[in-house]
């Protein structure tokens, strides 16, 4: 719901908001430019009377002296019939030059507050400010929910590049944008008179004007008592009308000063609403507060980018929306599939399940969990597939599920399948809650609750077999997450390891077909290119005759010009055997699956990389791309340094050029050898030190190794008063296990 | 009724036209052309004063936002007693270089009787020009352009 509130007005009002923010950013430079040109007198240095006298001595008819928020002093005058406006030196009253407000600034100001369309444009600008408030607040709330609460708002953000940039920019700018937008709303309301701005339209006309000959302005007592720093504006009396008075506006109020006696005839202090208005005006424009102006301008500059990335995210999500074929009516279906999904990836699994059940002769109805009906006329079972949002909350399409569940009249046999990511602390928490609630209500269990870790197609196949067994059909769930178009890749190089220790492993490097990766830029641009990916992403490879892709972690980024993977030949493994038989020149069909979770955080904090066997692949990729030379510690385990020391020569090179700080290896099949967790235990003190300094831990390899490593590291950091869960929830301990 | 009385007293001579039913009026066409300047539309007040510059009555106000009317200084000061009496005679502000022609009814008694037409002008972030234009309301001055010292380039009244 929050997301709809965020994205709908965002899309509709994007142009409006971008226009407001770009013009606002331009205007934010005005206060500092103006301030740079002004000299400020110290308090007590010169009185209004002294300045007025100096100015009056130079011009025949001074009309008005204005001190702007920046501190510049401007004099409006008539010399005979010639009207003039001068910028003057505040202390001496000497003319600096003619005052010419920039017509560009005026133009941008009008664009900013009315789009050059009068009152209709002013109303639009006000609505734009309101939209901005809604966007900033909903955006921040969504981010906080996703990261696990307001206290976690500064945690590293995960997601695709556009999601990350959108969230990071938003987090950077949100306070500035809220301030600009709220004050903008207020100014808009004040413009339309809907809130008072406290303008003193008329001060009561003085009754007892002396009317005698005018005293020199420099001798007027009231003006002598007012310091220039307090002045806003001094209006001189009409030369031809002896009953006219000086009108003095200061920071505190407006007064009429008798031109003959110099006495204050009438005075009206600024009302509270005036002071509120002036403060808000200053906060919005930065006039008189230029550093704030610059900050707000910088925040405003993020809005065009936020809009662009936001639109991209929206478009990606929309184009990923499932298209369900043969979705029968809710009341005629025998099987109901309910989906709880935030991003849409769970929908893909639901569609696969829907198709397979339909093929098996069932009448299937698939809907979001929020649309659970109070009764299904013919249904024999309900299958619930749900993800978890943030720290255990319901995903978007399931956030009203519990309140609707109470209305369901007849319990049906139900199977719950949770989707999640084991590296999050509350893995599949919402699925657990749903299963628990249904059990408490006495719903029969069709299949025990199960979890799918990181969209594992293999886990899903296994669950499908169990489901098929439970309802008496053969069910093959060949799930490919919205199977992307595959691209052809050509093997250009392979390096083999480990045959002697019964762990045949190959580092395979692929390139786009026929692309000579040593060719010049121009030829490379014209030949087919690799899809975009980074080290740590996954490549899905379809071996000939198989529809079920196998995923391998990428050891290179597309900027390296090659796609590199590290593959161990599994006994009986279809895909790994296929890959191990490839010769340079052979081709494969592959697609990229982004894995933005498994990636080093940006910054200078040290990295601790831990892996065994082929798990070194993505870790080697991270090291290769350590251009900033942050400190990187690699712990890696193999069998025998003489046979399966993967990337041995590369690691030597990385150590030499300091992309790698320290390499700790453990080999299990040599005398005195051991396992990688042994190296971790023996380096306990140094590791503790690194974690103290904010190090991030990335683990890649088999599930058993990951468990042992986590246990070892947990023991090491316990004395620091933290555990692995704390690191995990802070995004500082990330596993990629298989 | 009391208000009426106070008005009549304070305006003195104006009592003559306070009963418009008997007063003979003449239609006067006011043509104003502004100079070219940088800035938003100018606010103008066109009004009558006596020979000493004392406010008599408002002919026309251009610029609708009342909170800016205090920048039309002489008019605003003189006009202090007749708040909210300008509703029917207010139009939109006038842009740089633009011309404006309006017709108003003026009592015959005020013509060739020492009264003046005055214009105050003001532009946002620009200047306030009290008495931008001052021209005596006489038959001899009719149809003769007068130049202003502020934003008004020329002003002519025809009757």
What are the backbone angles phi and psi of residue A43, rounded to the nearest 5°? Answer: -60, 135
In this predicted structure, the answer to whether residue B83 has a pLDDT above a threshold of 60 is no
Please return the burial class of A706, using the count of CB atoms within 10 Å of its CB with bins 0-12, 13-18 and 19+. buried
Please answer whether residues A624 and A654 qualify as being in contact, where contact means their C-beta atoms are separated by less than 8 angstroms: yes
Q: Which carries the bigger pLDDT value, residue A607 or residue B12?
A: A607
- Measured between CB atoms, does B50 come within 8 Å of chain A? no
Helix (H, G, I), strand (E, B) or coil at A51: helix
Across residues A225-232, what is the average pLDDT? Answer: 91
The percentage of chain B sitting over the pLDDT mark of 70, rounded to a whole number, equals 80
Across residues A494-519, what is the average pLDDT? Answer: 81
What pLDDT was estimated at residue A321? 58
Q: What's the pLDDT band for A425 if we cut at 50, 70, 90?
A: low
Measured CA to CA, the distance from residue A413 to residue A472 in angstroms comes to 14
In this predicted structure, the answer to whether residue B23 has a pLDDT above a threshold of 70 is no
Which of B66, B77, B149 is nearest residue A83 as measured by Cβ atoms?
Answer: B149
Q: If you ran DSSP here, which 8-state letter would residue A663 be given?
A: E
Structure ipTM: 0.71
Which residues of chain B lie closer than 8 angstroms to A235, CB-CB? Answer: 73, 128
Q: Which carries the bigger pLDDT value, residue A407 or residue A655?
A: A655
Q: Which of A315, A314, A354, A307 is nearest to A334 (CA)?
A: A354
The distance of B86 to chain A (nearest Cα, Å) reads 15
Domains detected in chain B: 24-158 (2.60.40)
Q: If you ran DSSP here, which 8-state letter would residue A252 be given?
A: S
Q: What's the pLDDT band for A324 if we cut at 50, 70, 90?
A: confident
In this predicted structure, the answer to whether residue A464 has a pLDDT above a threshold of 60 is yes
Measured CA to CA, the distance from residue A467 to residue A475 in angstroms comes to 8
Q: What's the pLDDT band for B4 if we cut at 50, 70, 90?
A: very low
Please answer whether residues A625 and A557 qualify as being in contact, where contact means their C-beta atoms are separated by less than 8 angstroms: yes
Measured CA to CA, the distance from residue A657 to residue A651 in angstroms comes to 10
- How many contacts (CB atoms, under 8 Å) link A and B? 53
In this predicted structure, the answer to whether residue A520 has a pLDDT above a threshold of 70 is no
**Bridge partners for A491 per DSSP:** A510
Query: Which residues make up the CATH 3.40.50.360 domain(s) of chain A?
Result: 335-458
Which residues of chain A lie closer than 8 angstroms to B127, CB-CB? Answer: 63-64, 76, 83, 85
What pLDDT was estimated at residue B1? 40
Q: Which carries the bigger pLDDT value, residue B33 or residue B12?
A: B33
Q: What is the mean pLDDT of chain A?
A: 87
- Measured between CB atoms, does B149 come within 8 Å of chain A? yes
Q: Are strands A231-235 and A95-98 parallel, antiparallel or unpaired?
A: unpaired
What are the backbone angles phi and psi of residue A684, rounded to the nearest 5°? Answer: -50, -45
Q: What's the pLDDT band for A710 if we cut at 50, 70, 90?
A: very high
In this predicted structure, the answer to whether residue A442 has a pLDDT above a threshold of 80 is yes
Closest CA in chain B for residue A102: B38
Q: Which CATH class is domain A487-593?
A: mainly beta
Measured CA to CA, the distance from residue A136 to residue A306 in angstroms comes to 11
Q: Is the dihedral of CA A726, A729, A730, A734 positive or negative?
A: positive
Contact A202 B67 (CB under 8 A): no
Which of B53, B80, B129 is nearest residue A205 as measured by Cβ atoms?
Answer: B80
Please answer whether residues B70 and B57 qualify as being in contact, where contact means their C-beta atoms are separated by less than 8 angstroms: no
- For chain B positions 66-105, those within 8 Å of chain A (CB to CB) are 66-67, 69-70, 73-74, 76-77, 80, 83
Helix runs in B81-150, H state only: none
In this predicted structure, the answer to whether residue B17 has a pLDDT above a threshold of 50 is no
According to CATH, the superfamily of the domain at A335-458 is Flavodoxin domain (3.40.50.360)
| Least confidently predicted of A357-366, A410-419, B80-89 | B80-89
Please answer whether residues A480 and A455 qualify as being in contact, where contact means their C-beta atoms are separated by less than 8 angstroms: no
Please answer whether residues A278 and A138 qualify as being in contact, where contact means their C-beta atoms are separated by less than 8 angstroms: no
Q: Which carries the bigger pLDDT value, residue A184 or residue A82?
A: A184
What pLDDT was estimated at residue B9? 43
Q: What's the pLDDT band for A483 if we cut at 50, 70, 90?
A: low
What pLDDT was estimated at residue A698? 94
Measured CA to CA, the distance from residue A353 to residue A476 in angstroms comes to 9
State pLDDT tens for residues B85-108: 676 778 888 988 999 999 999 998
Measured CA to CA, the distance from residue B22 to residue A398 in angstroms comes to 80
Q: Are strands A445-453 and A538-542 parallel, antiparallel or unpaired?
A: unpaired
Helix (H) or strand (E) holding B84: none
CB atoms within 10 A of CB A4: 10
DSSP A321-342: ----SS---TTT-SEEEEEE-S
Structure tokens at A349: 């699994």
Q: Which carries the bigger pLDDT value, residue A287 or residue A620?
A: A620
Q: What's the pLDDT band for B8 if we cut at 50, 70, 90?
A: very low
What pLDDT was estimated at residue B16? 46
Which residues of chain A lie closer than 8 angstroms to B38, CB-CB? Answer: 100-101, 103, 106
The distance of A202 to chain B (nearest Cα, Å) reads 7
Q: What's the pLDDT band for A448 if we cut at 50, 70, 90?
A: very high
What pLDDT was estimated at residue A663? 93
**Bridge partners for A419 per DSSP:** A387, A452
What pLDDT was estimated at residue A392? 74
State pLDDT tens for residues A25-40: 999 999 888 888 788 8
- Residue A450 CA, chain-centre distance (Å), reads 32
Helix (H) or strand (E) holding A520: none
| Least confidently predicted of A13-17, B75-79, B84-88 | B84-88
Closest CA in chain A for residue B148: A81
Q: What angle do CA A358, A359, A363 make, to 5 degrees?
A: 25
Structure tokens at B12: 């003195």
Contact A63 B70 (CB under 8 A): no
- Residue B85 CA, chain-centre distance (Å), reads 13
Helix (H) or strand (E) holding A298: helix A290-319
What pLDDT was estimated at residue A266? 85
Distances (CA, A) of A81 to A73, A620, B148: 23, 81, 8
CB atoms within 10 A of CB A704: 10
The 8 Å CB, 24+ separation contacts for A582-586 are: A582/A491, A582/A494, A582/A508, A583/A491, A584/A491, A584/A492, A584/A493, A584/A494, A585/A490, A585/A491, A586/A490, A586/A491
What pLDDT was estimated at residue A427? 85
Q: What's the pLDDT band for B14 if we cut at 50, 70, 90?
A: very low
- Measured between CB atoms, does B5 come within 8 Å of chain A? no
Measured CA to CA, the distance from residue A734 to residue B4 in angstroms comes to 85
The distance of A281 to chain B (nearest Cα, Å) reads 16
Cβ-proximal residues to A120 (8 Å cutoff; 6+ apart), any chain: none
What pLDDT was estimated at residue A203? 61
The percentage of chain A sitting over the pLDDT mark of 70, rounded to a whole number, equals 93
The percentage of chain A sitting over the pLDDT mark of 90, rounded to a whole number, equals 44
In this predicted structure, the answer to whether residue A429 has a pLDDT above a threshold of 60 is yes
In this predicted structure, the answer to whether residue B81 has a pLDDT above a threshold of 60 is no
Q: Which of A416, A410, A408, A356 is nearest to A385 (CA)?
A: A416
Query: Which residues make up the CATH 3.40.50.80 domain(s) of chain A?
Result: 607-737
Query: Which residues make up the CATH 2.40.30.10 domain(s) of chain A?
Result: 487-593
In this predicted structure, the answer to whether residue A356 has a pLDDT above a threshold of 80 is yes
| Least confidently predicted of A339-343, A498-502, A717-721 | A339-343
DSSP B27-70: EEEEEEEEPP-SSSPBEEEEEEE-TT--EEEEEEEE---GGGGG
Across residues A340-351, what is the average pLDDT? Answer: 81
Q: Is the dihedral of CA A183, A186, A191, A196 positive or negative?
A: negative
A214-A216-A217-A222 Cα dihedral, nearest 10 degrees? -80
| Least confidently predicted of A10-24, A181-195, B83-97 | B83-97
Contact A106 B125 (CB under 8 A): yes
CATH architecture of A607-737: 3-Layer(aba) Sandwich (3.40)
Chain A contact residues (CB < 8 Å to B) = 63-64, 76, 78, 81-83, 85, 100-101, 103, 106, 110, 197, 199-202, 205, 235, 238, 240-241, 244
The distance of B25 to chain A (nearest Cα, Å) reads 30
In this predicted structure, the answer to whether residue A633 has a pLDDT above a threshold of 80 is yes
Measured CA to CA, the distance from residue A730 to residue A105 in angstroms comes to 46
DSSP A256-289: EE-TTT--EEEEEEPPHHHHHHHHHHHHHH-TT-
Measured CA to CA, the distance from residue A458 to residue A462 in angstroms comes to 6
What pLDDT was estimated at residue A343? 59
Which residues of chain B lie closer than 8 angstroms to A82, CB-CB? Answer: 149
Q: Which of B98, B99, B48, B34 is nearest to B78 (CA)?
A: B48
State pLDDT tens for residues A116-146: 888 899 999 999 999 999 999 999 998 887 7
Please answer whether residues A470 and A514 qualify as being in contact, where contact means their C-beta atoms are separated by less than 8 angstroms: no
What pLDDT was estimated at residue A371? 83
The distance of A117 to chain B (nearest Cα, Å) reads 12
């Amino acid at each position: 719901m929050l997301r709809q509130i965020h994205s709908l007005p965002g899309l509709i009002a994007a142009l409006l908001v971008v226009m407001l923010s770009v013009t606002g950013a331009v205007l934010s430079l005005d206060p500092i430019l103006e301030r740079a040109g002004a000299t400020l007198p110290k308090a007590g240095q010169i009185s209004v009377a002294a300045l007025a006298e100096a100015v009056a001595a130079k011009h025949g008819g001074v009309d008005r002296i204005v001190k702007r928020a920046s501190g510049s002093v401007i004099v409006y005058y008539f010399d005979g019939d010639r009207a003039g406006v001068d910028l003057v030196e505040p202390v001496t009253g000497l003319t600096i030059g003619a005052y010419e407000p920039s017509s560009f600034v005026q133009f941008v100001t009008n664009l900013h507050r009315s789009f050059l369309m009068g009152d209709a444009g002013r109303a639009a600008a006000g609505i734009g400010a309101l939209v901005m408030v809604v966007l900033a607040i909903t955006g921040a709330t969504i981010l906080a929910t996703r990261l696990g609460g307001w206290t976690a708002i500064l945690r590293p953000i995960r997601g695709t590049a556009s999601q990350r940039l959108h969230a990071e920019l938003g987090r950077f700018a949100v306070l500035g944008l809220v301030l600009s937008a709220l004050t903008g709303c207020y100014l808009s309301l004040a413009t339309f008179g809907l809130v008072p701005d406290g303008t003193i339209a008329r001060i009561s006309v003085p009754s007892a004007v002396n009317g005698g000959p005018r005293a020199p302005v420099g001798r007027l007592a009231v003006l002598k008592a007012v310091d220039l720093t307090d002045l806003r504006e001094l209006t001189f009396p009409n030369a031809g009308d002896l009953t006219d008075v000086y009108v003095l506006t200061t920071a505190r109020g407006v007064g009429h000063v008798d031109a003959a006696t110099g006495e204050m005839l009438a005075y009206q202090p600024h009302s509270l609403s005036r002071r509120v208005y002036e403060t808000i005006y200053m906060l919005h424009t930065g006039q008189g507060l230029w550093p704030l102006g610059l900050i707000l301008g910088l925040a405003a500059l993020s809005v065009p980018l936020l809009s662009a990335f936001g639109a991209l995210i929206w478009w990606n999500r929309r184009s990923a929306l499932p298209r369900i074929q043969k979705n029968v009516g809710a009341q005629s279906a025998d099987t109901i599939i309910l989906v709880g999904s935030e991003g849409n990836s769970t929908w893909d699994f639901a569609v696969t399940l829907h198709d397979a059940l339909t093929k098996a002769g069932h009448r299937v109805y698939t809907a979001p969990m929020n649309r659970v009906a109070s009764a299904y006329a013919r249904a024999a079972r309900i299958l619930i597939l749900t993800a978890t949002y943030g720290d255990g909350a319901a995903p978007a399409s399931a956030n009203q599920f519990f309140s609707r569940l109470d209305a369901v009249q007849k319990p049906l046999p139900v199977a719950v399948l949770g989707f999640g990511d084991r590296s999050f602390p509350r893995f599949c928490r919402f699925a657990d809650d749903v299963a628990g609630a249904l059990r408490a209500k006495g719903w029969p269990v069709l299949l025990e609750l199960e979890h799918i870790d990181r969209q594992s197609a293999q886990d899903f196949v296994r669950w499908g077999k169990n489901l098929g067994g439970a309802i008496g059909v053969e069910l093959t769930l060949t799930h490919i997450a919205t199977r992307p178009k595959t691209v052809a890749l050509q093997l250009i190089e392979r390096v083999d390891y480990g045959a002697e220790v019964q762990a045949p492993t190959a580092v395979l490097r692929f390139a786009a077909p026929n692309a000579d990766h040593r060719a010049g830029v121009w030829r490379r641009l014209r030949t087919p290119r690799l899809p975009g990916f980074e080290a740590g992403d996954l490549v899905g490879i379809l071996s000939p005759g198989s529809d079920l892709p196998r995923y391998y972690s990428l050891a290179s980024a597309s900027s390296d010009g090659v796609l590199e993977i590290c593959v161990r030949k599994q006994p009986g493994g279809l895909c790994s055997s296929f890959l191990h038989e490839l010769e340079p020149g052979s081709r494969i069909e592959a697609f990229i699956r982004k894995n933005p979770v498994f990636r080093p955080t940006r910054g200078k904090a040290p990295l601790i990389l831990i892996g065994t066997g082929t798990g070194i692949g993505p870790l080697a990729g991270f090291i290769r791309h350590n251009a900033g030379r942050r400190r990187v510690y690699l712990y890696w385990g193999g069998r025998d340094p003489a046979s399966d020391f993967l990337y041995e020569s590369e690691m030597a090179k990385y150590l030499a050029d300091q992309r790698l700080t320290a390499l700790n290896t453990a080999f299990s099949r040599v005398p005195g050898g051991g396992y990688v967790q042994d190296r971790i235990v023996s380096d306990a003190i140094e590791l503790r030190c690194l974690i103290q300094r904010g190090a991030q831990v990335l683990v890649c390899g088999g599930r058993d190794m990951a468990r042992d490593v986590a246990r070892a590291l947990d023991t090491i950091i316990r004395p620091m008063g933290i555990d692995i869960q704390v690191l995990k929830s802070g995004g500082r301990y990330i596993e990629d296990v298989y | 009724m009391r208000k009426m009385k106070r008005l009549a007293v304070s305006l003195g001579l104006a009592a003559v036209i306070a009963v418009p039913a008997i007063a003979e009026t003449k239609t006067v066409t006011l043509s104003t052309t502004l100079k070219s300047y940088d800035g938003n539309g100018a606010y103008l007040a066109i009004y009558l004063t006596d020979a000493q510059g004392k406010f008599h009555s408002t002919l026309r106000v251009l610029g609708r936002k009342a909170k800016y009317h205090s920048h039309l200084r002489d008019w605003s000061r003189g006009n202090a007693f007749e708040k909210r009496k300008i509703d029917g005679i207010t139009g939109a502000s006038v842009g740089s270089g633009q011309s404006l022609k309006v017709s108003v009814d003026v009592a015959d008694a005020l013509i060739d009787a020492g009264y003046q037409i005055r214009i105050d002008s003001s532009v946002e972030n620009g200047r306030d020009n009290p008495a931008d234009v001052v021209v005596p309301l006489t038959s001899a001055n009719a149809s003769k352009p007068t130049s202003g010292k502020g934003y008004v380039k020329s002003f002519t009244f025809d009757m």
